[in-house]
Structure formats: C-alpha cells, structure tokens
Chain A
Amino acid sequence: KNEVEQSPQNLTAQEGEFITINCSYSVGISALHWLQQHPGGGIVSLFMLSSGKKKHGRLIATINIQEKHSSLHITASHPRDSAVYICAVPNTGNQFYFGTGTSLTVIP
C-alpha cells in the first residue's frame, strides 16, 4: 500500500464544472502539499497546508488531519487547468511521499 493515495487517477471534465481531487495518506505529517505538473513537465507548488482550508483564485484545498485526508477543488474549471495534480506528504524526516497524480483534462 502506498503512503499516499490519490483519486481519481484520470478525470475529464467539461469547462465550467466543479472538480474535486482526493488524497489520503497513512504517514504522520507536518504539512501536506499540492503540486501541479503542466503538460510540458514543469512543476508548481499550489498549496502547503497543515490544517483547515486555503484558497487561491479558483483553487481551494482542504485538509482533515484526523481523517488523514485532503481535497483539492477547482471551481469553474477551464481548459488551462488541464494538468497532473500531485499530492505530497513529508515524513518525519526529510523525505516526501508523492501520490501518483491525477491527470485532469478540461474540455472546452
């Protein structure tokens, strides 16, 4: 079993739809990270959160520490949101455990 599980693995949505990507983890953490990997391969850090909820534009990330679960939401999705979204969880050392990613395609 992986330390970090993401779902769904692949997601296709119509432009404008509300999107949710889920991440469950089994390791203890100080903070959970959401990353975005563009089709060209570059990686951008979207959120780092250790409790509650964070919002940046149309992106919202939530975390429930007790349930070891986080969600990434995209409101009013747009084709430019098409990317792979990766959940990353640090262990008590310096390693990150990564989910396998959710590949999102938003169709115009």
Chain B
Amino acid sequence: NAGVMQNPRHLVRRRGQEARLRCSPMKGHSHVYWYRQLPEEGLKFMVYLQKENIIDESGMPKERFSAEFPKEGPSILRIQQVVRGDSAAYFCASSTGTGGAETQYFGPGTRLLVL
C-alpha cells in the first residue's frame, strides 16, 4: 500500500516561470491538504481539498497560487510567475476523513527553489 506520493521531489524554476506540484493521496483517501514550510520556519496550512472541491483555501496567497483535486488523477498545486519568496518545501497530506480528528499521512514533500 503506497503512501502519499509527491513529485517532483525537487524543482528548480527561474523567476516568472510556473511551478506545478503533484500529490497522489494514499489509496482510499479522498481528503488532501497542502502545507508550505518556508526556510527556518514552521509548517503553514495552505488549502484543503476533496475530490473536485476546494473546501478551505484560507491559507493560500490571494494571487498566483491555485490548487485542484480532479476526479481522476493527482492533486495539483500550481504557482504562476514564481518569485524567490516562493522557495520552500511544499508538503501534501491525505486522510480518510475531515478536520483534525483523522490522522494525516504526509508525502515526502517537494522542495521548490526559485532562482
């Protein structure tokens, strides 16, 4: 039973390019969470999705960031026109249920470096 998968594990982009980060939840999990960890800082919630629905995106920057979790395929976190401040580790987690009463299983993260 594969765990949460994220790819790529490392991504280098130049300022102004787009970054696409993918997350495949654990089998049977329909809830996906994205978190960002800036250098030397703690994890911060970004967005919570269920299949085809964004449930809570209150942690997402208002511009350039978007997320989706289509009926088929992985969840995608998309960052348009990346800037140096977007350099961070982006973690995806999945769970079977909603809210904080379910264990979340984390992926290995995607480390984004913006040059």
Q: A residues near B, CB below 8 A? A: 29-31, 33, 35, 41-45, 48, 50, 86, 88-91, 93-101
Query: Contact residue range for chain B?
Result: 20 to 34
Q: Are the CB atoms of A41 and B100 closer together than 8 Å?
A: no
A33-B100, A86-B42 as given contacts; A94 in contact with B108, CB under 8 Å: no
Complex interface: chain B residues within 8 A of A97 (CB):
45
- Known contacts A43-B106, A93-B99, A95-B58; 20 further A-B pairs (Cβ under 8 A): A30-B101, A31-B100, A33-B100, A33-B104, A41-B111, A42-B109, A44-B106, A45-B106, A48-B103, A88-B43, A89-B100, A94-B55, A94-B56, A94-B98, A96-B33, A96-B35, A96-B100, A98-B45, A99-B42, A100-B42
Give Cα distance in the complex from A42 to B111, angstroms. 11
Q: Are the CB atoms of A45 and B104 closer together than 8 Å?
A: yes
Q: B residues near A, CB below 8 A? A: 33, 35, 41-45, 48, 55-56, 58-59, 89, 91, 93, 98-106, 108-109, 111
Q: Are the CB atoms of B99 and A30 closer together than 8 Å?
A: yes
Q: Are the CB atoms of B109 and A29 closer together than 8 Å?
A: no
Give Cα distance in the complex from A97 to B58, angstroms. 13
Q: Are the CB atoms of B106 and A90 closer together than 8 Å?
A: no
Complex interface: chain A residues within 8 A of B89 (CB):
41
Q: Are the CB atoms of B59 and A42 closer together than 8 Å?
A: no
Q: Are the CB atoms of B91 and A95 closer together than 8 Å?
A: no
Q: Which B residue's beta carbon lies closest to that of A96?
A: B45
Complex interface: chain B residues within 8 A of A99 (CB):
42
Q: Are the CB atoms of A95 and B45 closer together than 8 Å?
A: yes
Give Cα distance in the complex from A44 to B89, angstroms. 15
Distance from A22 Cβ to chain B, minimum over Cβ atoms (Å): 16
Complex interface: chain A residues within 8 A of B108 (CB):
41-42
